Copies of this chain bind each other. A is one copy, B any other.
Amino acid sequence: MPNEVTRGELTQPSYAAALDARDPLAACRDEFVGAESRLVYFDGNSLGRPLRATAGRLAAFVEEEWGGRLIRGWDERWYDLPLTLGDEVGRVCLGAAPGQTTLGDSTTVLLYKLVRAAVDAAESTSGSRRTEVVLDTDNFPTDRYVVEGIAEERGLTVRWIDVDRTAGVNLDQVREVVGEQTALVLLSHVAYRSGHLADARAVTAAVHDAGALVLWDLCHSVGAVPVELDAWGVDLAVGCTYKYLNGGPGSPAFAYVAQRHQDRLMQPIRGWMGHADPFLMGPAYQPAAGMRRFISGTPAVVGMLAMQDMLALIDRAGMAAVRDKSRRLTSYAVDLADARLADLGVTVASPRDPAQRGGHVTLQHERMREVTAELWRRDVIPDYRDPGGLRIGLSPLSTSFEEVRRGLEAVREVLLSPR
């Protein structure tokens, strides 16, 4: 809590209003659908709000581009869209030079493709003993399931980093487990439960010291936390676009493959859209050069439309300013939790140091499952994550400080109300 503020002041509407008044990005919030409603939305880290521009963009696409250009749209724009829009995600959010990012498939499918590409390349290296994949016990379920499935089918070993649920993977843990048998390390940049922000640059270097590759899952960081894939020397990354990139439910995920690896890695799902010459329709699969080989089937063009509005807004605001607001929002949530919920037994299950925290904060209490249900009835919408975690996702451009104050106050009211 800021030293100069008393607990009483902090929880006043006037205090939140002052924070909003000082927020250089406050006006962005009006660009989202529903900004005017009283709803408190703490789930922009799970499904971002649509921008007001998006409905018109989709309708115009149907009438003009799809309806007007029809099949010609493929030659004119859509065929390259996974790569051109991937480059845009790379430029605005990932610190990735062009030619290394593509959009398409779900995060799960992209994880499968990149993990397979990495371990298959290790396997085909003559005399390689790199038969281990490292990940942490609190990684997102899909990441764990995908790796376990691949380990079973390829006869690999999964090495687990055991992490506390209120923290995340630290550098020492990584150094301890990686070695000459490690093929790949798969970690989340921001932990989906605790919000812990990994030191991706240092971890990447540690993995490289062991001669292994790293794959970062950026689902909970992209669009909220600055990412510098090229500068950090990252090998592979995936992330989703329906959270802080506001692409809409089920919008396609992105994959990043550092240029130096592209031509030596092969993903296993060979489709015509990843072929060197798709319309040759020739007898044998010949992977395209560069990033295109990581595409399999026909790209989900309609699903890629909405995120363009959010990318433009983030580009305008700048990722540094977005992160700055994100830190202030989560710090305010932590301060309010200390001031108004600690006496009711609520603990903060996220790092207290904002430098080690992504865009969400998890509050722990044994009653949080029922609390979440009651909050939803009161139009306060957080997420519940077992066991006992109330996850407060604070999408920086669509969330106000006043919203945070009202939401945390509602948690207090529900905890105080008769069961």
A residues with a Cβ closer than 8 A to B are 33-34, 39, 41, 43, 46-47, 49-50, 54-56, 58-60, 62-63, 66-68, 70-74, 78, 104-109, 112, 137, 140-142, 144-146, 148-149, 153, 240, 242, 247-253, 268-273, 275, 278-285, 296-306, 376, 381, 383, 385-386
Contacts and interface: CB of A to CB of B under 8 A. Distances in A.
10 contacts: A33-B63, A34-B70, A43-B70, A56-B59, A70-B381, A72-B376, A108-B296, A109-B296, A149-B269, A279-B386
A381 B71 contact: yes
A288 to B, nearest CB: 12
Nearest to A285: B145
A269 B112 CA distance: 6
A311 to B, nearest CB: 16
Nearest to A77: B249
Nearest to A33: B67
B303 A300 contact: yes
Contacts of A304: 250
A105 B107 contact: no
A55 B49 contact: no
Given A109-B296, A112-B268, A279-B386, A62 B273 contact: no
B66 A298 contact: no
Contact of A66 (B106, B249, B252, B305): B249
A223 B66 CA distance: 19
A300 B297 CA distance: 14
Contacts of A303: 250, 300, 302-303
Contacts of A71: 43, 46-47, 381, 383
Contact of A142 (B54, B63, B148, B297): B297
A104 B297 CA distance: 12
Given A298-B242, A301-B249, A67 B34 contact: yes
A47 B70 contact: yes
Given A106-B300, A301-B248, A55 B47 contact: no
A376 B137 CA distance: 56
Nearest to A56: B59
Contacts of A50: 62-63, 66-67
Contacts of A105: 105-106, 109, 297
Nearest to A281: B141
B106 A297 contact: yes
Nearest to A154: B153
A148 to B, nearest CB: 6
Contact of A272 (B142, B148, B386): B142
Contacts of A297: 105-109, 142, 253
Given A46-B71, A55-B62, A148 B285 contact: yes
Contacts of A383: 71
The 4 closest A-B pairs by CB, nearest first: A106-B297, A108-B297, A108-B271, A33-B67
Given A33-B62, A49-B67, A141-B275, A249 B55 contact: no
A68 B34 contact: yes
A306 B62 contact: yes
Given A242-B298, A302-B248, A275 B145 contact: yes
A380 to B, nearest CB: 12
A411 B9 CA distance: 79
Nearest to A298: B250
A70 B379 CA distance: 11
Contact of A148 (B60, B250, B270): B270
A250 B302 contact: yes
A126 to B, nearest CB: 18
A141 B41 CA distance: 46
A106 B298 contact: yes
Contacts of A242: 298
A301 B250 contact: yes
